[in-house]
Structure 1
Amino acid sequence: MLVELRIRNVAVIDTVTLPLERGLNVLTGETGAGKSIIIGALGMLLGERTAADRVRSGTDRATVEGVFDVSARPELRALLDERGIDADEQHLVLKREVGSNGRSRAWINGSTVTAAVLADIGARLVSVHGQHDSRQLVDADHQRELLDAYVQATAARRRVAEAYAHVAALRAREQELEQRRLEATRRADYLRFVVREIEDLQPTAGEDEALDADIRRLSHAEELQGLAAQAAAAIAGDEHAALGRLGAVRRALASLTRIDPAMDRLQSGFEAAVYALDELAGELSQYAEAVEADPQRLRTLERRRDQLLGLMRKYGPTIQDVLAEGARARAELELVDGGGLDLAALADARAGAEGAFAEACAELTRLRVGGARQFERAVSELLPDLGMREGRVEVVLTPLEQGSATGAETVHFVAMLNAGAEARPLSRIASGGELSRVMLALSTVLARLQQVPTLVFDEVDAGVGGAVAWQVGALMRRVASHHQVLAISHLAQIAARAHHHIVVHKSAVGTVTTSDTVVVTDEARIVEIARMLGGDADREVSRAHARELLSRGADDSVAAVAGASSGVAPRAATPRGAQRRGKPV
């Protein structure tokens, strides 16, 4: 359970420490005092998305810290251990910090974690029910989720969703293949022409570049031959050629080396140059002899080049593009010839997947049908206690012609909340107050199944009052016998039912407005209840009315509630007239 909530620099809150107890904790205060800010801070601690505007003006960061008693949650400690987070046997500390720049950080027992991990652990500790839940109650998807939560169909729903996704994927592949096959069949003549045209020429990668080089050489054969022969003669043609004229250089270098042996390196360089020139002359001579004008071959190569250019104009612009187009055309033609076998294999796989999907849907339907009547009775039994003596809620399961990712039927709730009225969908028959009470009944029923130790009800009593409010408080107190409950309320009838009463008030410190909390007991609590009743809290008649409410609300003692919990004794009562204020973080 949540033992303590510490808030610093959130909105108008400077520093608040909120001590909580087992049983029913009620948070009250004037409108605008800051109750919603406290719930928002709790949501921030539980991993909800948050923004820089949550940070108190003039400060650089907002911090929320929650201390939880996990002595009765060994499975949670095991989960933390798996994630490498230290956890002692008694307490767990969650912390969230948001900077004025919008960046946030989170810790569990001092270990840095992501917001996702914080949200995962937080969801196992606290469940928040707010006014928006009443509005969601008219949504069919939300109603289906409520029933599935009650019948514990989480695993079955996951199997249905996975089976449906598999079927949908196979259907999509089958449809795509059939479409491609139809398109290939329609284009078959053209595809065969493309394949035949490309295969007849059998182009090869890089062939166009090689053809261009060969054609260039053949087109200038005589010129190339003459240039090569001229260059060879200039190097080694006669004694007047380059090599013949280098004899004088050789003799001079030989004499130089005899006088100065260190110049031998010049002699070696000269000989290497002469050898290279001689080799160059030989290669030029061979090239001149090899180059031969061949008009017939030239015409053949030019014709081949023209054929390739035709292919590239159609399917190019490059030979690689032509080859790729041929491969695509052959692949499409294979769909015409062999696509039927692939379609048959896909159809068999789809049929098997549809069978598995039908089995998963049948299991989910069995859970829903089996639990719907019990769910109806559990919720309907609570409605008389909430001022709807003839109230009844029913679950209507309507089979679908074709199953979906959520199962083989739709789920929606109908209700008869007044004597003589016919059962109608909640969206058509319920006022805001009636929706709030129905939602509270649903939350109460689901709370019995939830492993989450702390339930938060954020003004779910909207639209109710009088005797009904008293009954709503009684129901919350009943839930508090097996869960820690934190209720935010404006109703004295509910506050009088609390085991632990906290008042939020707004005050000014200099020119700065801030919110603070006070735990009220005895006379201070009587004053707060009198204020909530709308009378003058200083008048004895108002206080007498408040005392009467508190007397009636305390029929089941705090000790009894504590005993019904996990066996931890309640905290000692505050001395008469004393008040416990929030402590700094």
Structure 2
Amino acid sequence: MITHLKIRDFALLESLDLDIGNGLSVFTGESGSGKSLVFDAITSILGGRCSTTNIRTGKEKYSLQAIVSLKEHPEAKEYLTKQGFQWEGEEIILSKELLKDGKARVKIGDSLASTSHLRELGKCIAEIHSQNEQLFLLEKTHQLEFLDRFGHLESMKAKVKLSLQNFRHWKDKLIHFDETLKHSQKRKETLSYEIGEIESVSPKEGEDESLSQEERFLANGEKLSENYRYILEELSDKENSILKTFPSLIHAMEKISQLLPEKQTLREEWEEVYDHLKSLRTTLREDEEELFFSPDRLDMVQTRLQELTRLKKKYGCGVPEILQQLQEKKAEMEKWSLEEGDRDFLVQKHDQSLVELKELVFQLSRARRNVLSPFEEEVQKELHDLGMEGSRLQVVLRWEENPDGEVEEGSKSYYLSESGLDQVEFYFSANVGEKPRPLRKVASGGELSRVMLALRSVLGKFSPAPQILILDEIDTGLGGEAANSLASKLKKLSRNSQILLITHTQQIAATGDQHFRLEKHTENGRTIASAKDLNYEERKRELARMIGGKQLTQGVLKAATDLLQKKAV
């Protein structure tokens, strides 16, 4: 509940401070006195629309503050906790300023917040039904809640919610598994190809270096053979070779040494050269015989080197590193080997949860359709009591087709939420013979408020935690017994809810636990609206004004006294 409201520079409301109690608080006053401005301010502080046109002329901003008791609002506490807002005890202060440039400054407790935070918090604690705002009844999710509470379907809906969460859990796991499997299949294909590619080449560590040396040798083998052959021919194989003519040279040298003894050493040197040449010939002969040259072997070596070079280039490393990568790729292949049985298990859980979910949502949808007629009949009675004899509320349930829907029926798929398959909308007709149309499109503010009261009355014994109900002139066009009936309903609702109500009907005003009168006066050439919390005598005079106008006769005062003494219960 709102325990205190502070308004500064909000249109005609220059400065207003109101302490608001439990139960039914009524606001009265002549037309244009500022009653709706108070409610516009309350709507704004609870996250409703705000406009710079409401800033008092000559001021830079308007400021609003509300102290809200959270004692009966666990949903509001949960929201504040999730959003990280801090508060002490059972109360929290909401503050809002709107500047001329349209910028809003919002605080929840001691923390800065956004208007959307206020709006979400406002939905947790208040229902606003005014000419300017319809923050509750027009929302389809809340319309569905009315129907479910009437049919005692909350537990069934809770089962649907849990079943949907369970189904989506297994659905997400199956999707994730399939995505992982798809990725692993692609990766396994790549790994399998790379492992096969490396193993088909089957490189050996150090092989590329030895093959490179062999290639160099084989590539020059023909030239080596030619040169060996030439040297051996010149040395001994041809007719006038060096070794064949060398003995004659030595013999001539021997004759010289006989004639010239001092040349004996030179003769010996020639003999040494001859022996050395014969030794060289033997070595060259052996080398030539060992020389192997094969064009086929060269081609094979070069082909093998090309394969190794391609692998090294592709994997960006040498043979030792390629062999290491081969082992790593084989290990990764084992890692990506997923058991098909795992998917079979997930498919089984997915299908089982879907069967359970479909059974529950169809059961819930049938149950809702079974309570439609009784619900509409009860609301119809309440609307009649509220002076809306010719009006009619019709509940329309439908399933929303969606190609990605999780529930199929026939050849179609349908959207599914935590509330089930049903999408609901209230249709309304204010007069006999008129075709019902969407409530959000055709109902006036006063009609919406009375429809809400009818719904509240029907669901009174199933009412949730107390709420703040803000009602603006829902008694428009009522009088006599219809006004008395409305007053009685408001009084009953106020036992579990704080109700703030603008009224022009004396029967309703007399029912209030607290009565504020709005009035205007002129001060220093400016119009100012103010509010006063009336005592018993002041209430009596205000009721008399509402009954007889400005002429406060004894009869009118007595009628006002009787109203206060006969408060509707």
TM-score by length of 2: 0.57
Q: Does 1:105 align with 2:107?
A: yes
Deviation per residue, 1:388-416 (Å, 9 max, x gap) = 34666565656783572221444455667
Q: Which residue of 2 aligns with 1:404?
A: 416
Question: Cα–Cα, structure 1 residues 543 and 354, in superposed 2: closer, same or farther, change >3 Å?
Answer: farther
Count residues with an aligned counterpart.
Answer: 450
Report if aligned partners of 1:195, 1:330 keep a CA contact under 8 Å in 2: no
Question: Cα–Cα, structure 1 residues 183 and 102, in superposed 2: closer, same or farther, change >3 Å?
Answer: closer
Question: Cα–Cα, structure 1 residues 199 and 418, in superposed 2: closer, same or farther, change >3 Å?
Answer: farther
Amino acid in structure 2 at the alignment position of 1:438: V
Q: Distance in 1 between matches of 2:139 and 2:21?
A: 35
467, 470, 476: which one aligns with 1:457: 470
Q: Distance in 2 between matches of 1:456 and 1:113?
A: 26
Q: Distance in 2 between matches of 1:51 and 1:331?
A: 66
Q: Distance in 1 between matches of 2:191 and 2:76?
A: 66
Q: Does 1:501 align with 2:515?
A: yes
Report if aligned partners of 1:195, 1:329 keep a CA contact under 8 Å in 2: no
Deviation per residue, 1:333-363 (Å, 9 max, x gap) = 968xx6x545423320211221442465367
Report if aligned partners of 2:4, 2:20 keep a CA contact under 8 Å in 1: yes
Offset of residue 102 of structure 1: 4.4
Q: Distance in 1 between matches of 2:49 and 2:448?
A: 27
Q: Which residue of 2 aligns with 1:306?
A: 310
Deviation per residue, 1:360-396 (Å, 9 max, x gap) = 5367458746765664454233122122346665656
Residue 382 of structure 1: SS of its match in structure 2? helix
532, 550, 564: which one aligns with 1:518: 532
Alignment of 1:268-347 (within 5 A): 304-310=308-314, 341-347=341-347
Aligned-residue sequence identity (percent) comes to 24
Q: Does 1:556 align with 2:566?
A: yes
Offset of residue 148 of structure 1: 2.8
Deviation per residue, 1:449-482 (Å, 9 max, x gap) = 3354454233262864555566544532443355
Offset of residue 441 of structure 1: 0.8
Q: Distance in 2 between matches of 1:40 and 1:330?
A: 68
Q: Distance in 1 between matches of 2:152 and 2:357?
A: 19
Report if aligned partners of 2:473, 2:504 keep a CA contact under 8 Å in 1: no
Report if aligned partners of 2:45, 2:96 keep a CA contact under 8 Å in 1: no
Question: Cα–Cα, structure 1 residues 551 and 376, in superposed 2: closer, same or farther, change >3 Å?
Answer: farther
Q: Which residue of 1 aligns with 2:249?
A: none
Question: Cα–Cα, structure 1 residues 409 and 95, in superposed 2: closer, same or farther, change >3 Å?
Answer: closer
Q: Distance in 1 between matches of 2:133 and 2:62?
A: 31
Q: Which residue of 1 aligns with 2:502?
A: 488
Amino acid in structure 2 at the alignment position of 1:62: S
Q: Which residue of 2 aligns with 1:384?
A: 384
Q: Distance in 2 between matches of 1:466 and 1:486?
A: 20
Deviation per residue, 1:242-263 (Å, 9 max, x gap) = xxxxxxxxxxxxxxxxxxxxxx
Alignment of 1:16-165 (within 5 A): 16-29=16-29, 33-43=33-43, 58=59, 62-66=63-67, 87=89, 92-98=90-96, 102-107=104-109, 112=110, 126-131=126-131, 140-151=140-151, 153=153, 156-165=156-165
Question: Cα–Cα, structure 1 residues 178 and 480, in superposed 2: closer, same or farther, change >3 Å?
Answer: closer
Q: Distance in 1 between matches of 2:315 and 2:91?
A: 74
Amino acid in structure 1 at the alignment position of 2:107: R
Residue 145 of structure 1: SS of its match in structure 2? helix
435, 451, 475: which one aligns with 1:438: 451
Q: Distance in 2 between matches of 1:84 and 1:97?
A: 14
Structure 2 portions without partners, runs of 5+:
217-297, 401-408
Alignment of 1:530-569 (within 5 A): 537-538=549-550, 540=551, 550=560, 553-554=563-564, 556-557=566-567
Offset of residue 500 of structure 1: 3.2
Report if aligned partners of 1:461, 1:472 keep a CA contact under 8 Å in 2: no
Q: Which residue of 1 aligns with 2:197?
A: 197
Question: Cα–Cα, structure 1 residues 508 and 69, in superposed 2: closer, same or farther, change >3 Å?
Answer: farther
Q: Which residue of 1 aligns with 2:489?
A: 475
Question: Cα–Cα, structure 1 residues 120 and 424, in superposed 2: closer, same or farther, change >3 Å?
Answer: closer
Deviation per residue, 1:138-189 (Å, 9 max, x gap) = 6654421322344565565454234324434544665676689799999999
Question: Cα–Cα, structure 1 residues 505 and 418, in superposed 2: closer, same or farther, change >3 Å?
Answer: closer
Between 1:431-440 and 1:61-70, the stretch displaced more is 61-70
Question: Cα–Cα, structure 1 residues 142 and 20, in superposed 2: closer, same or farther, change >3 Å?
Answer: closer
Amino acid in structure 1 at the alignment position of 2:499: V
Deviation per residue, 1:289-309 (Å, 9 max, x gap) = xxxxxx999997675333343
Question: Cα–Cα, structure 1 residues 551 and 457, in superposed 2: closer, same or farther, change >3 Å?
Answer: farther
Between 1:488-497 and 1:379-388, the stretch displaced more is 488-497
Question: Cα–Cα, structure 1 residues 309 and 78, in superposed 2: closer, same or farther, change >3 Å?
Answer: closer
Report if aligned partners of 1:14, 1:515 keep a CA contact under 8 Å in 2: yes
Deviation per residue, 1:35-62 (Å, 9 max, x gap) = 4443354456657798999887757883
TM-score by length of 1: 0.55
Question: Cα–Cα, structure 1 residues 53 and 310, in superposed 2: closer, same or farther, change >3 Å?
Answer: farther
Report if aligned partners of 1:493, 1:549 keep a CA contact under 8 Å in 2: no
Residue 462 of structure 2: SS of its match in structure 1? coil
Report if aligned partners of 1:9, 1:61 keep a CA contact under 8 Å in 2: yes
Between 1:442-451 and 1:184-193, the stretch displaced more is 184-193
Amino acid in structure 2 at the alignment position of 1:443: R
Question: Cα–Cα, structure 1 residues 25 and 304, in superposed 2: closer, same or farther, change >3 Å?
Answer: same
Report if aligned partners of 1:125, 1:452 keep a CA contact under 8 Å in 2: no
Q: Distance in 1 between matches of 2:453 and 2:530?
A: 28
Report if aligned partners of 1:26, 1:487 keep a CA contact under 8 Å in 2: yes
Offset of residue 487 of structure 1: 0.6
Structure 1 portions without partners, runs of 5+:
220-294, 313-317, 562-585
Question: Cα–Cα, structure 1 residues 481 and 341, in superposed 2: closer, same or farther, change >3 Å?
Answer: closer
Residue 347 of structure 1: SS of its match in structure 2? helix
Q: Distance in 2 between matches of 1:178 and 1:550?
A: 77
Q: Which residue of 1 aligns with 2:286?
A: none
Q: Distance in 2 between matches of 1:428 and 1:45?
A: 23
Deviation per residue, 1:48-86 (Å, 9 max, x gap) = 79899988775788352437596xx69999999x99965
Amino acid in structure 2 at the alignment position of 1:105: K
Report if aligned partners of 1:184, 1:332 keep a CA contact under 8 Å in 2: no
Q: Distance in 2 between matches of 1:544 and 1:94?
A: 46
Residue 382 of structure 2: SS of its match in structure 1? coil
Residue 461 of structure 1: SS of its match in structure 2? coil
Report if aligned partners of 1:530, 1:545 keep a CA contact under 8 Å in 2: no
Offset of residue 428 of structure 1: 10
Amino acid in structure 1 at the alignment position of 2:197: E
Q: Distance in 2 between matches of 1:25 and 1:518?
A: 12
Question: Cα–Cα, structure 1 residues 464 and 334, in superposed 2: closer, same or farther, change >3 Å?
Answer: farther
Offset of residue 10 of structure 1: 5.3
Q: Does 1:15 align with 2:15?
A: yes
Question: Cα–Cα, structure 1 residues 407 and 74, in superposed 2: closer, same or farther, change >3 Å?
Answer: closer
Residue 144 of structure 1: SS of its match in structure 2? helix
Offset of residue 437 of structure 1: 2.8
Offset of residue 18 of structure 1: 1.8
Question: Cα–Cα, structure 1 residues 552 and 43, in superposed 2: closer, same or farther, change >3 Å?
Answer: same
Amino acid in structure 2 at the alignment position of 1:347: V
Deviation per residue, 1:310-350 (Å, 9 max, x gap) = 567xxxxx99xx99x98999699968xx6x54542332021
Report if aligned partners of 2:428, 2:438 keep a CA contact under 8 Å in 1: yes
Deviation per residue, 1:459-513 (Å, 9 max, x gap) = 2628645555665445324433554421124556644554533123445544666
